[in-house]
A = this chain, B = another copy of it.
Amino acid sequence: MAAPIDYDSPIPPYRQIATEIIRDIESGSLAVDRPVPSESALIQRWGVARDTARRAVRHLRELGYVYTVPQRGTYVQDRSTHDNDHQGGE
């Protein structure tokens, strides 16, 4: 519902954005292999810089929540097996 970034929080903006997206993934709003919001979308939705949006996505990737296809987009990773927590098993 468009909660704004809390700049008073000790949690950095990119983390707040990542947390929100994780919620959408866990809740099922974002299904497996569905695209997560693009960098542009995140920039507009949160009013942050691209650097921040990219950090958020990178964080999600490191946690194993998403995977990125160059020049295409970033999609929800299938974590159903829970075989890979965030080391990039595969």
Contact = CB atoms under 8 A, between A and B. Distances in A.
A53 B90 CA distance: 24
Interface in A42-90: 87-90
Does more than half of chain A's interface fall in helix, strand or loop, or is it mixed?
loop
Contacts of A88: 87-90
Contacts of A90: 88-90
A70 B7 CA distance: 21
A83 to B, nearest CB: 11
Nearest to A67: B90
Minimum-distance CB pairs A-B, first 8:
A88-B88, A89-B90, A87-B87, A90-B90, A88-B90, A88-B89, A89-B89, A87-B88
